[in-house]
């Protein structure tokens, strides 16, 4: 079950704290917070939300061990790979970014904006192999399905995809915020 975490995008330093407080408030419902939980980040694009969360973890604002980042786009189409590489060097981390998508796991294709069953299974298997306790959908622009739905997931995107995706990047965020305050 994905739990929406509204209005966490875009993240600047001030909203990084908001995201982390929301993470703590929601995560305690799903996982044992007695020790630092291992989390996986699922991203699709530039990785700005992932960067803010990782920076917060490094700064001790939130207690989380980032086990892996999964991106559904290849490195030439998503900036998250370069962001994680830079953060790894800057903070002496060892966070791996895995490309898992309908192109890498094409059987039983889903519709537009939806995972294939094989893709969902591959992500689920990866999370299990890394002892992940919580998946963080941070700008992940696909509807999750299959075995991935058995994991506790936290969604930082304020709208349900793909219904709120829109024709250009991230208009769903503006539309959701506008409808909330209309």
Domain that holds residue 20: 2-180
pLDDT at position 11: 38
Q: Which residues of the chain have pLDDT under 50?
A: 1-17, 166-177, 179-182
Read off the pLDDT of residues 93-116 as tens digits, 9 standing for 90 and up: 999 999 998 888 877 666 667 788
Any idea of the CA torsion for 166, 168, 174, 176, to the nearest 10 degrees?
20
CATH of the domain at 80: 3.40.50.170
pLDDT at position 159: 56
CB 132, CB 68: distance < 8 Å: yes
Helix, strand, or coil here: 1? coil
Q: Which residues pair with 104 in a beta bridge?
A: none
Number of domains in the chain: 1
Read off the pLDDT of residues 9-27 as tens digits, 9 standing for 90 and up: 333 444 444 555 555 555 5
């Amino acid at each position: 079950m994905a739990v929406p975490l509204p209005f966490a995008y875009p993240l600047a330093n001030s909203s990084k704290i908001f995201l982390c407080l929301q993470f703590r408030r929601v995560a305690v419902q799903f996982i044992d917070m007695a020790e630092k939980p291992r989390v996986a980040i699922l991203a699709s694009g530039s990785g700005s939300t992932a960067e803010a969360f990782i920076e917060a973890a490094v700064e001790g604002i939130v207690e989380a061990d980032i086990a892996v980042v999964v991106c559904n786009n290849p490195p030439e189409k998503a900036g998250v790979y370069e962001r994680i590489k830079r953060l790894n060097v800057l903070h002496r981390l060892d966070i791996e970014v895995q490309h898992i998508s309908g192109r890498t796991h094409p059987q039983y294709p889903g519709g537009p904006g939806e995972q294939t069953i094989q893709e969902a299974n591959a992500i689920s298997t990866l999370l299990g192999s890394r002892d992940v306790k919580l998946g963080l959908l941070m700008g992940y622009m696909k509807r999750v399905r299959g075995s991935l739905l058995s994991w506790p997931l936290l969604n930082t995107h304020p709208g349900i995809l793909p219904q709120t995706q829109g024709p250009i990047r991230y208009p769903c965020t503006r539309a959701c915020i506008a409808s909330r305050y209309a």
